[in-house]
Structure 1
Amino acid sequence: MQTLWVCALALQELAGPAAETAETATDVISLVTRTGLIEQLVLALLVIFSIVSWGIVAYKAWAFRRADTHTRQFLDVFRRSSKFSEVQAVCRSLGESPLVGLFQAGYGELNTQLRGATGDKPATTAARPTLKSLDAVDRALLRASGTELAKLEERVGFLATTASITPFIGLFGTVWGIMTAFQAIGAVGSSNLAVVAPGIASALIATAAGLFAAIPAVYFYNHFTHKVRGFAAAMEDFSLEFLNISERNFT
Protein backbone atom coordinates (compact mmCIF):
# COMPACT_ATOMS: atom_id res chain seq x y z
CA MET A 1 0.00 0.00 0.00
CA GLN A 2 2.83 2.36 0.82
CA THR A 3 4.36 1.69 -2.62
CA LEU A 4 1.05 2.46 -4.36
CA TRP A 5 0.73 5.68 -2.38
CA VAL A 6 4.22 6.80 -3.43
CA CYS A 7 3.46 6.00 -7.09
CA ALA A 8 0.23 7.99 -6.90
CA LEU A 9 2.09 11.00 -5.53
CA ALA A 10 4.69 10.72 -8.29
CA LEU A 11 2.02 10.58 -10.99
CA GLN A 12 0.29 13.58 -9.48
CA GLU A 13 3.55 15.57 -9.55
CA LEU A 14 4.16 14.59 -13.19
CA ALA A 15 0.63 15.51 -14.20
CA GLY A 16 0.82 18.85 -12.40
CA PRO A 17 3.06 20.72 -14.93
CA ALA A 18 1.08 19.35 -17.87
CA ALA A 19 -2.18 20.50 -16.33
CA GLU A 20 -0.70 23.91 -15.60
CA THR A 21 0.52 24.21 -19.19
CA ALA A 22 -2.90 23.30 -20.57
CA GLU A 23 -4.55 25.76 -18.22
CA THR A 24 -2.14 28.51 -19.28
CA ALA A 25 -2.83 27.83 -22.95
CA THR A 26 -6.56 27.96 -22.27
CA ASP A 27 -6.14 31.25 -20.42
CA VAL A 28 -4.23 32.79 -23.34
CA ILE A 29 -6.91 31.68 -25.79
CA SER A 30 -9.62 33.12 -23.58
CA LEU A 31 -7.70 36.41 -23.38
CA VAL A 32 -7.54 36.58 -27.17
CA THR A 33 -11.23 35.80 -27.58
CA ARG A 34 -12.14 38.55 -25.13
CA THR A 35 -10.32 41.23 -27.15
CA GLY A 36 -12.19 43.62 -29.43
CA LEU A 37 -12.13 43.81 -33.20
CA ILE A 38 -9.24 46.29 -33.39
CA GLU A 39 -7.07 44.23 -31.03
CA GLN A 40 -7.83 41.07 -33.00
CA LEU A 41 -6.83 42.80 -36.24
CA VAL A 42 -3.59 43.89 -34.57
CA LEU A 43 -2.93 40.33 -33.42
CA ALA A 44 -3.65 38.98 -36.91
CA LEU A 45 -1.19 41.49 -38.40
CA LEU A 46 1.47 40.49 -35.89
CA VAL A 47 0.90 36.82 -36.68
CA ILE A 48 1.39 37.57 -40.39
CA PHE A 49 4.64 39.42 -39.66
CA SER A 50 5.84 36.53 -37.53
CA ILE A 51 4.99 33.84 -40.10
CA VAL A 52 6.66 35.73 -42.95
CA SER A 53 9.73 36.41 -40.80
CA TRP A 54 10.14 32.76 -39.89
CA GLY A 55 9.74 31.82 -43.56
CA ILE A 56 12.52 34.23 -44.50
CA VAL A 57 14.70 32.89 -41.68
CA ALA A 58 14.28 29.32 -42.91
CA TYR A 59 14.95 30.25 -46.54
CA LYS A 60 17.99 32.44 -45.85
CA ALA A 61 19.51 29.87 -43.48
CA TRP A 62 19.23 27.25 -46.24
CA ALA A 63 20.57 29.65 -48.90
CA PHE A 64 23.55 30.77 -46.81
CA ARG A 65 24.41 27.18 -45.95
CA ARG A 66 24.48 26.27 -49.64
CA ALA A 67 26.47 29.41 -50.44
CA ASP A 68 29.05 28.48 -47.81
CA THR A 69 29.39 24.96 -49.18
CA HIS A 70 29.64 26.06 -52.82
CA THR A 71 32.12 28.82 -51.94
CA ARG A 72 34.51 26.35 -50.29
CA GLN A 73 34.25 23.98 -53.25
CA PHE A 74 34.71 26.79 -55.78
CA LEU A 75 37.81 28.17 -54.05
CA ASP A 76 39.29 24.69 -53.95
CA VAL A 77 38.76 24.27 -57.72
CA PHE A 78 39.95 27.82 -58.47
CA ARG A 79 43.23 27.41 -56.58
CA ARG A 80 43.97 23.94 -57.99
CA SER A 81 43.24 24.81 -61.63
CA SER A 82 45.94 26.05 -63.98
CA LYS A 83 43.51 27.64 -66.46
CA PHE A 84 40.49 29.86 -66.05
CA SER A 85 38.64 27.71 -68.59
CA GLU A 86 38.80 24.78 -66.16
CA VAL A 87 37.20 26.92 -63.46
CA GLN A 88 34.51 28.11 -65.86
CA ALA A 89 33.52 24.49 -66.47
CA VAL A 90 32.42 23.99 -62.83
CA CYS A 91 30.65 27.33 -62.39
CA ARG A 92 27.26 25.97 -63.39
CA SER A 93 27.31 23.32 -60.65
CA LEU A 94 28.44 25.79 -57.95
CA GLY A 95 26.16 28.68 -58.84
CA GLU A 96 25.03 29.36 -55.26
CA SER A 97 28.44 30.80 -54.41
CA PRO A 98 28.71 34.60 -54.84
CA LEU A 99 32.30 34.08 -56.01
CA VAL A 100 31.00 32.40 -59.15
CA GLY A 101 29.34 35.63 -60.25
CA LEU A 102 32.57 37.55 -59.65
CA PHE A 103 34.65 35.03 -61.55
CA GLN A 104 32.32 34.98 -64.54
CA ALA A 105 32.30 38.79 -64.71
CA GLY A 106 36.10 38.97 -64.54
CA TYR A 107 36.55 36.07 -66.93
CA GLY A 108 34.16 37.63 -69.43
CA GLU A 109 36.05 40.93 -69.34
CA LEU A 110 39.36 39.07 -69.78
CA ASN A 111 38.06 37.18 -72.80
CA THR A 112 36.71 40.37 -74.37
CA GLN A 113 40.02 42.19 -74.03
CA LEU A 114 42.18 39.22 -75.06
CA ARG A 115 40.09 38.49 -78.17
CA GLY A 116 40.34 42.14 -79.12
CA ALA A 117 44.09 42.11 -78.58
CA THR A 118 44.66 39.06 -80.80
CA GLY A 119 42.25 40.38 -83.43
CA ASP A 120 44.36 43.50 -83.95
CA LYS A 121 47.50 41.46 -84.77
CA PRO A 122 48.42 39.65 -87.99
CA ALA A 123 47.64 35.97 -88.12
CA THR A 124 51.35 35.07 -88.22
CA THR A 125 52.05 36.84 -84.93
CA ALA A 126 52.56 34.40 -82.04
CA ALA A 127 53.00 36.99 -79.29
CA ARG A 128 51.25 36.42 -75.99
CA PRO A 129 47.96 38.36 -75.77
CA THR A 130 47.93 41.14 -73.19
CA LEU A 131 45.24 43.05 -71.38
CA LYS A 132 44.41 46.53 -72.56
CA SER A 133 43.15 47.67 -69.17
CA LEU A 134 43.43 45.92 -65.82
CA ASP A 135 41.22 48.65 -64.36
CA ALA A 136 38.37 47.50 -66.61
CA VAL A 137 38.64 44.03 -65.10
CA ASP A 138 38.60 45.60 -61.63
CA ARG A 139 35.45 47.57 -62.50
CA ALA A 140 33.76 44.42 -63.80
CA LEU A 141 34.54 42.66 -60.52
CA LEU A 142 33.17 45.62 -58.52
CA ARG A 143 29.90 45.61 -60.49
CA ALA A 144 29.53 41.88 -59.98
CA SER A 145 30.30 42.26 -56.28
CA GLY A 146 27.48 44.77 -55.90
CA THR A 147 25.07 42.44 -57.69
CA GLU A 148 26.02 39.46 -55.53
CA LEU A 149 25.70 41.48 -52.32
CA ALA A 150 22.22 42.59 -53.37
CA LYS A 151 21.26 38.92 -53.85
CA LEU A 152 22.62 37.99 -50.42
CA GLU A 153 20.78 40.86 -48.70
CA GLU A 154 17.49 40.11 -50.47
CA ARG A 155 14.59 39.74 -47.99
CA VAL A 156 16.85 40.29 -44.97
CA GLY A 157 15.58 43.86 -44.71
CA PHE A 158 12.11 42.55 -43.90
CA LEU A 159 13.50 41.15 -40.65
CA ALA A 160 14.72 44.62 -39.69
CA THR A 161 11.29 46.02 -40.53
CA THR A 162 9.63 43.35 -38.39
CA ALA A 163 12.01 43.98 -35.50
CA SER A 164 11.39 47.72 -35.53
CA ILE A 165 7.67 47.96 -36.27
CA THR A 166 6.00 45.02 -34.52
CA PRO A 167 6.59 46.28 -30.95
CA PHE A 168 4.85 49.54 -31.89
CA ILE A 169 1.97 47.66 -33.51
CA GLY A 170 1.61 45.60 -30.35
CA LEU A 171 1.78 48.73 -28.22
CA PHE A 172 -0.96 50.30 -30.31
CA GLY A 173 -3.14 47.25 -29.72
CA THR A 174 -2.44 47.44 -25.99
CA VAL A 175 -3.26 51.15 -25.75
CA TRP A 176 -6.48 50.63 -27.68
CA GLY A 177 -7.42 47.70 -25.47
CA ILE A 178 -6.75 49.67 -22.28
CA MET A 179 -8.91 52.52 -23.59
CA THR A 180 -11.71 50.05 -24.26
CA ALA A 181 -11.26 48.46 -20.83
CA PHE A 182 -11.50 51.82 -19.05
CA GLN A 183 -14.63 52.67 -21.01
CA ALA A 184 -16.16 49.38 -19.85
CA ILE A 185 -15.09 50.13 -16.26
CA GLY A 186 -16.73 53.55 -16.49
CA ALA A 187 -19.93 52.00 -17.79
CA VAL A 188 -20.00 49.48 -14.95
CA GLY A 189 -19.06 52.11 -12.40
CA SER A 190 -16.77 49.85 -10.41
CA SER A 191 -12.97 49.78 -10.04
CA ASN A 192 -12.90 46.34 -8.47
CA LEU A 193 -9.87 44.23 -9.48
CA ALA A 194 -12.16 41.52 -10.80
CA VAL A 195 -13.60 44.08 -13.23
CA VAL A 196 -10.33 45.80 -14.18
CA ALA A 197 -7.96 42.84 -14.51
CA PRO A 198 -9.53 40.88 -17.43
CA GLY A 199 -9.64 43.89 -19.75
CA ILE A 200 -6.05 44.96 -18.94
CA ALA A 201 -4.79 41.39 -19.36
CA SER A 202 -6.49 41.09 -22.75
CA ALA A 203 -4.98 44.40 -23.82
CA LEU A 204 -1.45 43.37 -22.83
CA ILE A 205 -1.58 40.28 -25.04
CA ALA A 206 -0.93 42.54 -28.05
CA THR A 207 2.34 43.81 -26.58
CA ALA A 208 3.42 40.24 -25.85
CA ALA A 209 2.63 39.25 -29.45
CA GLY A 210 4.63 42.22 -30.76
CA LEU A 211 7.66 41.20 -28.72
CA PHE A 212 7.22 37.58 -29.78
CA ALA A 213 7.49 38.67 -33.43
CA ALA A 214 10.28 41.22 -32.89
CA ILE A 215 12.81 39.36 -30.74
CA PRO A 216 13.58 36.50 -33.20
CA ALA A 217 13.63 39.00 -36.08
CA VAL A 218 16.29 41.10 -34.30
CA TYR A 219 18.46 38.07 -33.61
CA PHE A 220 18.32 36.61 -37.10
CA TYR A 221 18.72 40.00 -38.77
CA ASN A 222 21.99 40.52 -36.90
CA HIS A 223 23.03 36.93 -37.65
CA PHE A 224 22.38 37.21 -41.39
CA THR A 225 23.99 40.66 -41.56
CA HIS A 226 27.11 39.14 -40.05
CA LYS A 227 27.02 36.38 -42.67
CA VAL A 228 26.65 38.93 -45.47
CA ARG A 229 29.68 40.83 -44.17
CA GLY A 230 31.64 37.59 -44.22
CA PHE A 231 30.68 36.95 -47.84
CA ALA A 232 31.59 40.55 -48.72
CA ALA A 233 35.07 40.07 -47.24
CA ALA A 234 35.46 36.79 -49.16
CA MET A 235 34.46 38.53 -52.41
CA GLU A 236 36.95 41.33 -51.81
CA ASP A 237 39.75 38.83 -51.19
CA PHE A 238 38.79 36.84 -54.29
CA SER A 239 38.74 39.99 -56.45
CA LEU A 240 42.28 40.85 -55.36
CA GLU A 241 43.42 37.28 -56.02
CA PHE A 242 41.82 37.30 -59.47
CA LEU A 243 43.46 40.63 -60.34
CA ASN A 244 46.86 39.39 -59.18
CA ILE A 245 46.60 36.30 -61.39
CA SER A 246 45.44 38.40 -64.33
CA GLU A 247 48.28 40.87 -63.88
CA ARG A 248 50.92 38.12 -63.69
CA ASN A 249 49.71 36.27 -66.77
CA PHE A 250 48.26 38.90 -69.11
CA THR A 251 50.24 42.12 -68.63
Structure 2
Amino acid sequence: MNSVVLSPAAHLWLRRTRLIALLLLLFGALAGTSLLAGAEPTGAEAVLDQVNATEPAEHQPFGVREMYLQADLVVKSVMIFLAFCSLLTWAVLLEKLLVFGRARRANQQFLQAFRSGDKAALTALAERSAMGRMWQVAQGELQHFRRTAKDRVDADRITRLLQRMALSASIVQERDLARLGSMMGVLATIGATAPFIGLFGTVWGILNSFASIATMRSASLAIVAPGIAEALLATALGLFAAIPAVMIFNKFARDINGFVGGLDNFSAEMLASTSRQLEEEL
Protein backbone atom coordinates (compact mmCIF):
# COMPACT_ATOMS: atom_id res chain seq x y z
CA MET A 1 0.00 0.00 0.00
CA ASN A 2 1.43 3.39 -1.04
CA SER A 3 1.97 5.95 1.75
CA VAL A 4 0.88 9.59 1.39
CA VAL A 5 3.75 12.05 1.52
CA LEU A 6 2.79 15.51 2.91
CA SER A 7 4.54 18.61 1.85
CA PRO A 8 6.21 20.93 4.39
CA ALA A 9 3.37 23.44 4.01
CA ALA A 10 0.81 20.74 4.81
CA HIS A 11 2.72 19.71 7.95
CA LEU A 12 2.78 23.35 9.12
CA TRP A 13 -1.00 23.72 8.53
CA LEU A 14 -1.69 20.49 10.48
CA ARG A 15 0.36 21.63 13.48
CA ARG A 16 -1.43 25.01 13.51
CA THR A 17 -4.84 23.27 13.39
CA ARG A 18 -3.93 21.06 16.38
CA LEU A 19 -2.71 24.09 18.34
CA ILE A 20 -5.92 26.02 17.64
CA ALA A 21 -8.06 23.01 18.71
CA LEU A 22 -6.08 22.70 21.95
CA LEU A 23 -6.52 26.42 22.69
CA LEU A 24 -10.27 26.12 22.03
CA LEU A 25 -10.52 23.21 24.48
CA LEU A 26 -8.64 25.16 27.16
CA PHE A 27 -10.83 28.23 26.64
CA GLY A 28 -13.98 26.12 26.89
CA ALA A 29 -12.80 24.55 30.13
CA LEU A 30 -12.02 27.96 31.65
CA ALA A 31 -15.38 29.36 30.56
CA GLY A 32 -17.26 26.42 32.09
CA THR A 33 -15.44 26.84 35.38
CA SER A 34 -16.29 30.53 35.55
CA LEU A 35 -19.97 29.80 34.86
CA LEU A 36 -20.13 27.20 37.61
CA ALA A 37 -18.48 29.59 40.03
CA GLY A 38 -20.99 32.35 39.25
CA ALA A 39 -24.07 30.10 39.33
CA GLU A 40 -26.52 30.17 42.31
CA PRO A 41 -25.94 27.43 44.85
CA THR A 42 -28.56 24.73 45.10
CA GLY A 43 -29.45 21.99 47.58
CA ALA A 44 -27.23 21.69 50.62
CA GLU A 45 -25.01 24.58 49.48
CA ALA A 46 -28.02 26.94 49.43
CA VAL A 47 -29.06 25.89 52.94
CA LEU A 48 -25.54 26.40 54.26
CA ASP A 49 -25.31 29.81 52.61
CA GLN A 50 -28.64 30.84 54.16
CA VAL A 51 -27.55 29.67 57.60
CA ASN A 52 -24.28 31.59 57.29
CA ALA A 53 -26.11 34.67 56.04
CA THR A 54 -28.62 34.67 58.88
CA GLU A 55 -26.17 33.70 61.61
CA PRO A 56 -25.95 36.53 64.17
CA ALA A 57 -22.72 38.36 64.54
CA GLU A 58 -22.72 37.88 68.30
CA HIS A 59 -24.10 35.12 70.50
CA GLN A 60 -27.57 36.06 71.77
CA PRO A 61 -28.87 34.54 75.05
CA PHE A 62 -31.95 32.38 74.51
CA GLY A 63 -33.37 31.08 77.77
CA VAL A 64 -36.82 30.53 79.20
CA ARG A 65 -37.39 34.26 79.66
CA GLU A 66 -36.45 35.02 76.05
CA MET A 67 -38.65 32.19 74.78
CA TYR A 68 -41.60 33.57 76.74
CA LEU A 69 -41.04 37.14 75.54
CA GLN A 70 -40.81 36.08 71.89
CA ALA A 71 -43.93 33.89 72.00
CA ASP A 72 -47.20 35.16 70.56
CA LEU A 73 -50.29 36.00 72.62
CA VAL A 74 -51.87 32.54 72.46
CA VAL A 75 -48.72 30.70 73.57
CA LYS A 76 -48.11 33.28 76.30
CA SER A 77 -51.65 32.79 77.58
CA VAL A 78 -51.11 29.03 77.71
CA MET A 79 -47.83 29.47 79.60
CA ILE A 80 -49.39 31.86 82.13
CA PHE A 81 -52.34 29.55 82.74
CA LEU A 82 -50.08 26.52 83.24
CA ALA A 83 -47.86 28.48 85.62
CA PHE A 84 -50.98 29.42 87.62
CA CYS A 85 -52.03 25.76 87.70
CA SER A 86 -48.61 24.80 89.03
CA LEU A 87 -48.76 27.43 91.79
CA LEU A 88 -52.28 26.30 92.70
CA THR A 89 -51.07 22.70 92.97
CA TRP A 90 -48.33 23.57 95.44
CA ALA A 91 -50.71 25.77 97.43
CA VAL A 92 -53.15 22.85 97.74
CA LEU A 93 -50.28 20.64 98.89
CA LEU A 94 -49.35 23.00 101.72
CA GLU A 95 -52.99 23.47 102.77
CA LYS A 96 -53.67 19.73 102.80
CA LEU A 97 -50.54 18.97 104.80
CA LEU A 98 -51.69 21.37 107.52
CA VAL A 99 -55.30 20.13 107.52
CA PHE A 100 -54.42 16.44 107.60
CA GLY A 101 -51.80 17.00 110.28
CA ARG A 102 -54.28 18.76 112.57
CA ALA A 103 -56.98 16.13 111.92
CA ARG A 104 -54.65 13.24 112.77
CA ARG A 105 -53.44 14.83 116.00
CA ALA A 106 -56.99 15.69 117.12
CA ASN A 107 -58.25 12.16 116.43
CA GLN A 108 -55.34 10.60 118.30
CA GLN A 109 -55.95 12.78 121.35
CA PHE A 110 -59.67 12.04 121.38
CA LEU A 111 -59.16 8.30 120.87
CA GLN A 112 -56.80 8.19 123.86
CA ALA A 113 -59.38 10.01 126.00
CA PHE A 114 -62.16 7.68 124.80
CA ARG A 115 -60.23 4.53 125.63
CA SER A 116 -59.19 5.89 129.02
CA GLY A 117 -62.79 6.80 129.87
CA ASP A 118 -61.95 10.42 130.76
CA LYS A 119 -65.35 12.13 130.47
CA ALA A 120 -63.97 15.65 130.98
CA ALA A 121 -61.36 15.20 128.24
CA LEU A 122 -63.96 13.72 125.90
CA THR A 123 -66.20 16.74 126.31
CA ALA A 124 -63.30 19.18 125.85
CA LEU A 125 -61.91 17.46 122.74
CA ALA A 126 -65.22 16.55 121.09
CA GLU A 127 -65.49 19.61 118.81
CA ARG A 128 -61.86 19.45 117.69
CA SER A 129 -61.86 16.09 115.91
CA ALA A 130 -63.98 14.04 113.54
CA MET A 131 -64.13 11.21 116.06
CA GLY A 132 -65.32 13.63 118.72
CA ARG A 133 -68.15 14.91 116.53
CA MET A 134 -69.18 11.34 115.75
CA TRP A 135 -69.18 10.57 119.48
CA GLN A 136 -71.30 13.65 120.20
CA VAL A 137 -74.13 12.67 117.84
CA ALA A 138 -74.00 9.09 119.10
CA GLN A 139 -74.31 10.33 122.68
CA GLY A 140 -77.26 12.44 121.62
CA GLU A 141 -79.02 9.34 120.30
CA LEU A 142 -78.16 7.46 123.49
CA GLN A 143 -79.57 10.21 125.71
CA HIS A 144 -82.75 10.33 123.64
CA PHE A 145 -83.05 6.56 124.04
CA ARG A 146 -82.68 6.78 127.82
CA ARG A 147 -85.35 9.50 128.05
CA THR A 148 -87.91 7.65 125.92
CA ALA A 149 -87.26 4.00 126.65
CA LYS A 150 -87.28 4.15 130.45
CA ASP A 151 -88.19 0.63 131.63
CA ARG A 152 -88.96 -0.70 128.13
CA VAL A 153 -85.34 -1.61 127.29
CA ASP A 154 -84.97 -4.86 125.36
CA ALA A 155 -82.66 -6.36 122.75
CA ASP A 156 -84.76 -5.13 119.83
CA ARG A 157 -84.73 -1.54 121.06
CA ILE A 158 -80.99 -1.72 121.65
CA THR A 159 -80.46 -2.96 118.09
CA ARG A 160 -82.48 -0.07 116.67
CA LEU A 161 -80.55 2.36 118.88
CA LEU A 162 -77.21 1.07 117.61
CA GLN A 163 -78.44 1.42 114.03
CA ARG A 164 -79.45 5.05 114.63
CA MET A 165 -76.12 5.77 116.30
CA ALA A 166 -74.23 4.26 113.37
CA LEU A 167 -76.32 6.25 110.87
CA SER A 168 -75.85 9.55 112.72
CA ALA A 169 -72.11 8.93 113.06
CA SER A 170 -71.78 8.10 109.36
CA ILE A 171 -73.48 11.40 108.42
CA VAL A 172 -70.97 13.35 110.51
CA GLN A 173 -68.16 11.23 109.06
CA GLU A 174 -69.18 12.08 105.49
CA ARG A 175 -69.20 15.79 106.29
CA ASP A 176 -65.67 15.63 107.68
CA LEU A 177 -64.45 13.61 104.72
CA ALA A 178 -65.99 16.12 102.31
CA ARG A 179 -64.09 18.85 104.13
CA LEU A 180 -60.84 16.90 103.87
CA GLY A 181 -61.45 16.10 100.20
CA SER A 182 -61.97 19.69 99.12
CA MET A 183 -59.73 20.79 96.20
CA MET A 184 -59.02 17.17 95.29
CA GLY A 185 -61.09 17.67 92.15
CA VAL A 186 -58.88 20.62 91.22
CA LEU A 187 -55.78 18.43 91.48
CA ALA A 188 -57.40 15.74 89.35
CA THR A 189 -58.42 18.30 86.72
CA ILE A 190 -54.95 19.82 86.53
CA GLY A 191 -53.31 16.41 86.31
CA ALA A 192 -55.62 15.29 83.51
CA THR A 193 -55.80 18.45 81.38
CA ALA A 194 -52.49 20.32 81.83
CA PRO A 195 -50.53 18.12 79.36
CA PHE A 196 -53.17 18.65 76.68
CA ILE A 197 -53.24 22.41 77.28
CA GLY A 198 -49.46 22.44 76.90
CA LEU A 199 -49.78 20.36 73.75
CA PHE A 200 -52.20 22.92 72.34
CA GLY A 201 -49.60 25.64 72.93
CA THR A 202 -46.98 23.47 71.24
CA VAL A 203 -49.11 22.87 68.15
CA TRP A 204 -49.92 26.57 67.92
CA GLY A 205 -46.25 27.52 68.20
CA ILE A 206 -45.22 25.03 65.51
CA LEU A 207 -47.90 26.43 63.20
CA ASN A 208 -46.41 29.88 63.74
CA SER A 209 -42.96 28.49 62.89
CA PHE A 210 -44.22 27.11 59.58
CA ALA A 211 -45.92 30.43 58.88
CA SER A 212 -42.61 32.24 59.45
CA ILE A 213 -40.92 29.84 57.03
CA ALA A 214 -43.48 30.72 54.37
CA THR A 215 -43.14 34.44 55.07
CA MET A 216 -39.33 34.55 55.11
CA ARG A 217 -39.06 32.00 52.28
CA SER A 218 -36.29 30.34 54.21
CA ALA A 219 -36.06 27.09 56.14
CA SER A 220 -32.87 27.98 57.98
CA LEU A 221 -32.42 26.72 61.52
CA ALA A 222 -32.06 30.27 62.84
CA ILE A 223 -35.61 31.05 61.73
CA VAL A 224 -37.30 27.79 62.70
CA ALA A 225 -35.56 26.99 66.01
CA PRO A 226 -36.92 29.86 68.18
CA GLY A 227 -40.54 29.09 67.33
CA ILE A 228 -40.11 25.38 67.97
CA ALA A 229 -38.35 26.09 71.29
CA GLU A 230 -41.23 28.34 72.40
CA ALA A 231 -43.71 25.64 71.41
CA LEU A 232 -41.89 22.93 73.34
CA LEU A 233 -41.72 25.19 76.40
CA ALA A 234 -45.53 25.07 76.56
CA THR A 235 -45.43 21.26 76.67
CA ALA A 236 -42.75 21.35 79.37
CA LEU A 237 -44.89 23.68 81.49
CA GLY A 238 -47.88 21.40 81.02
CA LEU A 239 -45.92 18.41 82.31
CA PHE A 240 -44.44 20.51 85.12
CA ALA A 241 -47.98 21.31 86.29
CA ALA A 242 -49.52 17.87 85.69
CA ILE A 243 -46.93 15.51 87.19
CA PRO A 244 -46.90 17.04 90.72
CA ALA A 245 -50.70 17.36 90.64
CA VAL A 246 -51.11 13.65 89.93
CA MET A 247 -48.59 12.66 92.60
CA ILE A 248 -50.15 14.95 95.22
CA PHE A 249 -53.64 13.72 94.34
CA ASN A 250 -52.59 10.08 94.79
CA LYS A 251 -50.90 10.84 98.11
CA PHE A 252 -53.94 12.52 99.64
CA ALA A 253 -56.30 9.95 98.16
CA ARG A 254 -54.36 7.31 100.13
CA ASP A 255 -54.45 9.53 103.22
CA ILE A 256 -58.22 9.94 102.93
CA ASN A 257 -58.66 6.18 102.60
CA GLY A 258 -56.60 5.70 105.75
CA PHE A 259 -58.63 8.38 107.49
CA VAL A 260 -61.86 6.61 106.51
CA GLY A 261 -60.53 3.34 107.89
CA GLY A 262 -59.68 4.98 111.20
CA LEU A 263 -63.15 6.53 111.53
CA ASP A 264 -64.84 3.25 110.64
CA ASN A 265 -62.82 1.44 113.29
CA PHE A 266 -63.70 4.07 115.88
CA SER A 267 -67.39 3.84 114.98
CA ALA A 268 -67.34 0.07 115.46
CA GLU A 269 -65.47 0.44 118.75
CA MET A 270 -67.93 3.07 119.98
CA LEU A 271 -70.98 0.95 119.09
CA ALA A 272 -69.47 -2.10 120.75
CA SER A 273 -68.79 -0.12 123.93
CA THR A 274 -72.36 1.25 123.97
CA SER A 275 -73.81 -2.21 123.38
CA ARG A 276 -71.86 -3.67 126.34
CA GLN A 277 -72.92 -0.78 128.54
CA LEU A 278 -76.63 -1.25 127.73
CA GLU A 279 -76.47 -5.00 128.18
CA GLU A 280 -75.02 -4.50 131.63
CA GLU A 281 -77.97 -2.26 132.49
CA LEU A 282 -80.55 -4.87 131.51
* TM-score normalised over the length of structure 2: 0.71
| Residue aligning to 2:114 | 78
| Residue aligning to 1:17 | none
Asked if 1:149 corresponds to 2:177, the answer is yes
| Residue aligning to 1:179 | 207
Q: How does 1:15-54 map to 2 (within 5 A)?
A: 27-54=63-90
Bigger CA radius of gyration: 2
Tell me which amino acid in the other structure corresponds to 1:100. Answer: G
Displacement after TM superposition at 1:156 (Å): 1.6
Q: Structure 1 residues 30 and 51, CA, compared in 2 at 3 Å: closer, same or farther?
A: same
Contact 1:167–1:207 (CA under 8 A) maintained in structure 2: yes
Displacement after TM superposition at 1:37 (Å): 0.2
Displacement after TM superposition at 1:116 (Å): 2.1
Report Cα offsets for 1:146-169 as digits up to 9, x if no partner: 222111111122111111111111
Match of 1:91, SS?
helix
| Residue aligning to 2:102 | 66
Which runs of no fewer than 5 residues in structure 1 stay unpaired?
A: 1-24, 122-129
Report Cα offsets for 1:132-190 as digits up to 9, x if no partner: 62211111122222222111111122111111111111111111111111111111111
Q: How does 1:127-146 map to 2 (within 5 A)?
A: 131=158, 133-146=161-174
Between the aligned partners of 2:167 and 2:87, the Cα distance in structure 1 is 40
Match of 1:249, SS?
helix
Q: Structure 1 residues 209 and 108, CA, compared in 2 at 3 Å: closer, same or farther?
A: same
Match of 1:154, SS?
coil
Match of 1:223, SS?
helix
Asked if 1:241 corresponds to 2:273, the answer is no
What do you get for the CA RMSD once the two structures are aligned? Answer: 2.0
Which runs of no fewer than 5 residues in structure 2 stay unpaired?
A: 1-60
Displacement after TM superposition at 1:82 (Å): 5.5
Between the aligned partners of 1:113 and 1:86, the Cα distance in structure 2 is 24
Match of 1:201, SS?
helix
Aligned partner of 1:158 among 186, 189, 194: 186
- Structure 1 runs (4+) deviating above 6 angstroms are none
Contact 2:122–2:132 (CA under 8 A) maintained in structure 1: no
